[in-house]
């Protein structure tokens, strides 16, 4: 199993713990992950809001390089994932877009055939590797850690890919199998507001307040996320949320790959757990053997 790795700009810095943990978990499970050489920004939602075509062409450069490598792309950032997939969809359906994209790529001697699939690491872990294989390899289980699985918007929408658009269960199944207690979390696909935290702080704070309160009221000890933007909003703005609503939230927001990594017995530092703003407690892990005995 090999994938062309597209980290995306967020994972270089703000999402560093995500990057570290994806690499560590993939290595731990023996999945090949080869970074796309000299990849560029996917264009994010910004090109979608000014000049759509330029956005697709910029994003297609990465797809064209992955095509040369001969692998499908693994894109952990939800936004990159959606944009790259959207580029693929337009390449397939929008007959006007294809020649223009390839014409732009021709300026740098690249071309794209539209056949590189874009996958999310959550999808790869659960559907390609499989939960059973992860359980085989992982020496530890969570001792009933209460997790609120937060999927966010962009890995499940707008088009069905690997899980339900409104009630995804991939993370729930994964963590339950790993011995965690997945709490009822109706906010699992509610929007965190994305860049609204910067442009309209009042709206962003309210959306994130709802998400955190929702998780805590349902007894979650930690929120697991699969998106660097959601992680940054939920984690970084808890002090502002507390100030605005007069509450005392202090809940760690952890990437799902970091949790899988812990079960795999990877050191917390290798998973970037020390770089989180809200440091998680040392979670109780128990050896797999105990569970078998019970």
Partner 1 sequence: MALPLQEPTLKREGELRAAFWEQLESIPGGDKIQNCIQCGTCTGSCPISPWMDITPREAVALFRAGHLEDILHSHTIWLCASCYTCRVRCPSGIMVTDLLYALKRLAMKKKIFPRHFPVHALSETFINNLYKYGRNFELGLGIRYFLRTNATKMITNAGFGFGMMMRGRMALTPKAIKKVREVRAIIDRAQKAKEV
Q: Per-residue DSSP letters for 13-27?
A: TTTHHHHHHHHHHHH
Distance CA 54, CA 60 (A): 10
Which of 4, 25, 33, 44 binds partner 1 (CB under 8 A)? It is 44
* Site residues (CB under 8 A) for partner 1, limited to 212-271: 236-237, 239-240
φ and ψ of 253, to 5 deg: -110, 110
Distance CA 273, CA 20 (A): 9
* Site residues (CB under 8 A) for partner 1, limited to 152-211: 153-154, 157-158, 165-166, 189-191, 193-196, 198-203, 207
> How many positions of this chain bind partner 1 (CB under 8 A)?
71
Which of 68, 89, 161, 286 binds partner 1 (CB under 8 A)? It is 89
**CA dihedral for 127, 233, 205, 51, sign (positive or negative):** negative
Q: How far is the CB of 6 from partner 1 (least distance, A)?
A: 12
User: Whose Cβ is closer to partner 1: residue 31's or residue 54's?
Assistant: 54
8 A C-beta contact, residue 265 and residue 140: yes
Distance CA 126, CA 85 (A): 19
User: Whose Cβ is closer to partner 1: residue 160's or residue 292's?
Assistant: 160
Question: Can you tell me which residue has the tokens 């703005």?
Answer: 237
Segment near partner 1 (CB under 8 A); pick from 136-144, 213-221, 257-265, 275-283: 275-283
Which of 73, 276, 280, 288 binds partner 1 (CB under 8 A)? It is 276
- Interaction between residue 39 and partner 1 (CB under 8 A): yes
Distance CA 292, CA 127 (A): 24
Provide the edge-to-edge strand list for the sheet that holds 146-150: 181-182, 146-150, 222-225, 253-255
> 98-127 mask for partner 1 (x: CB under 8 A)?
--xx-xxxxxx-x-----------------
User: Whose Cβ is closer to partner 1: residue 92's or residue 289's?
Assistant: 92
- Interaction between residue 293 and partner 1 (CB under 8 A): no
Q: How far is the CB of 26 from partner 1 (least distance, A)?
A: 21
Q: How far is the CB of 140 from partner 1 (least distance, A)?
A: 25
Number of neighbouring beta carbons within 10 Å of residue 108: 8
Which of 4, 22, 75, 97 binds partner 1 (CB under 8 A)? It is 97
* Site residues (CB under 8 A) for partner 1, limited to 10-29: 10, 12-17
* Among 169, 164, 167, 151, residue whose Cα is nearest residue 229: 151
- Interaction between residue 31 and partner 1 (CB under 8 A): no
Question: Can you tell me which residue has the tokens 């959306």?
Answer: 207
């Amino acid at each position: 199993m090999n994938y062309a790795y597209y980290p995306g700009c967020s994972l270089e810095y703000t999402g560093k713990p995500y990057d570290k943990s994806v690499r560590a978990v993939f290595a731990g499970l023996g999945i090949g992950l080869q970074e796309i050489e000299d990849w560029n920004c996917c264009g994010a939602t910004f090109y979608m809001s000014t000049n759509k075509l330029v956005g697709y062409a910029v994003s297609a450069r990465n797809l064209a390089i992955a095509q040369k490598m001969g692998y499908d792309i693994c894109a952990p950032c939800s936004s990159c994932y959606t944009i790259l997939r959207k580029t693929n969809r337009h390449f397939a359906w929008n007959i006007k877009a294809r020649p223009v994209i390839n014409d732009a790529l021709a300026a740098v001697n690249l071309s794209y055939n539209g056949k590189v699939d874009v996958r999310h690491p959550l999808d790869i872990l659960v559907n390609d590797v499989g939960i059973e294989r992860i359980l085989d390899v992982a020496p530890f289980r969570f001792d009933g850690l209460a997790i609120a699985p937060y999927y966010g918007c962009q890995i499940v929408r707008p088009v069905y890919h690997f899980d339900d658009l409104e009630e995804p269960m991939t993370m729930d199944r994964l963590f339950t199998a790993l011995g965690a207690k997945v709490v009822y979390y109706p906010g699992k696909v509610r929007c965190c507001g994305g860049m609204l935290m910067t442009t309209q702080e009042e709206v962003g704070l309210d959306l994130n307040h709802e998400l955190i309160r929702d998780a805590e009221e349902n007894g979650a000890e930690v929120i697991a996320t699969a998106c660097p933007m959601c992680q940054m909003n939920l984690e970084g703005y808890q002090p502002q949320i507390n100030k605005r609503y007069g509450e005392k939230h202090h809940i760690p927001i952890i990437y799902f790959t970091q949790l899988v990594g812990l079960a795999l017995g990877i050191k917390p530092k290798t998973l970037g757990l020390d770089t989180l703003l809200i440091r998680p407690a040392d979670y109780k892990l128990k050896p797999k053997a105990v569970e078998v005995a019970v």
